Structure 1
């Protein structure tokens, strides 16, 4: 079956956080990370059947739920997990927060690799911990890990957790097995627990391959928890479903306790049904076509920028659907640029500083939308740039 990702699905007026947050209805939103594509038809059909039942009480998560997760990651990513390792919860951010609570005490340090997903910062602060940045190093059109700096930060007696983003948002990196091992070796050597946020794991560009951190096995799986969800890839974030995968039984008990303390232990029936439908053969084919379409959007953006915006280099996109553009040529602060683009160009992008000080001068673009919207967004940006050039 062929899926139509060119379809324009009107979202304004649907209480969409992405589309209905701007006061001006003419603003084109290419900011927050949800997609403008309809989800997998099998998910819609499953939810329609569930709605038709008409009763939405407390949900018992069935065996089919665990089987879907285990079978999906085994077949698709070569990662064999035990169903006992899985703890369900309402989202990856609550999952990360609960693991931090389980593995730290207030005042402990949590290491992140900036620029990085902004909710990492709030999850760390909300647990009374100190944010320690080990910044990624820009190398031409990509980023690399500063292993010496990570070693130095991990060696602190106060460092208890390394919060990894795999694939990395917003830098677009899909970490290789070798990079993951080196990061893991540093953390294990210094007794630092690894939390790997892998919510973007299905959104991979051609020529790259996602490696689940825990699939490295051995000591790596013993010293880590992996957070996964179908929400980003299948555009079902509002259904609030995610999973924590932890092999060590004692650590898993601590995390389960933290999930309950944080009151994020009950999931809704729609999230459960949607996950089972997503992790299927049809879901795999839908993702194949989705990733090909997003890759086409990225190639279009590359060609457009090369021709019209050569002074605005793009960081190479390996994973996620989020393009990271260097806008320092404008000589504006990222937050100022975000505000002016909304007000003058009717284009909403994310300011790079949302992801840490290392994001200054950058803007993040959401390419998970019909090609027509990508074209329109880039033309609005070009008109804005040309206005400042003249």
Structure 2
């Protein structure tokens, strides 16, 4: 199957926007109102785009538990006046947004559709943070893991503890990621961190924040959020027609899977046949590695550290962002600790990660998150950061190639996309 991938029909992103992200009021208290605002902002950026141009809508939504409404995408669809247009909803845990983008890209690549809209959302502020953590934990195996009190910070802490020992990485090394992403968000007015705590923080602040589950502390964790995002995916012919100076191409993508229970990864034949014994063990993200390799192959990426300029990736925890660096091939067991200490993913580094703030700074309304990452990547490549952020501080200079990463479970489903300035 890998040999057959052919992205000869170019797939493009021509626009997109999010509401502000917050745990509480964003100014758009209905999901359909939020979706309409995102479409309006996109139309301001791309005046020649009309909703009538769409020939498919894909909706990206994780959990009906937060809103109690089944098929809530139908409400958004009606509000946007899209009756008659084909639509469906994608759900794939934390990789819901990435999976929706994967589906939209396939739809355009096939030639069956030309202009696809994606709306992603979550309303996680409808419940307490502890109840929200339980809802998210329903995406682990409730017959085993949830019954013994498992929630995701615990799963990630167990992985992180062993991963850090195996890779000689310290708590301070990963704390720098938690500080980095929140500080990036201070340049982004829609970011939840900017709208709430609104301060620059240090590694010491992360280290001194409340312990959640060793070694993970409060500021090592992403934010629970309300928010909506809209992304416009299309053929190059349409892109040239409506936004010839500001479109980007999706040159490679990959989607892969791993076990729902991390303990089942030990000597799993699907990985050992591919990567040899003792991989991914319980601490490496095999699905990230496999989907990145697929995306790189299609996009002609042989040295990701040199050929990719920046990334918007799934920093559910500062520790998992570090784990993702390895899975993306940016570092290995020998040099990952030094890679972190050299701040290679800060704005002054070799490959800045999450200049938009990521899940720890911008926020993590699950169904919208992967879409937000793609939008931020699009803004960088289309030269729109000075317009969308508060300054050029978080603009990656001369960016030509970016990676978008969307991630679910304990690494159970992961997608990667290589985007380029056209």
TM-score, with length taken from structure 1: 0.26
Max Rg structure:
1
TM-score, with length taken from structure 2: 0.25
Compare the two structures and name the one with the higher helix fraction.
Answer: 1
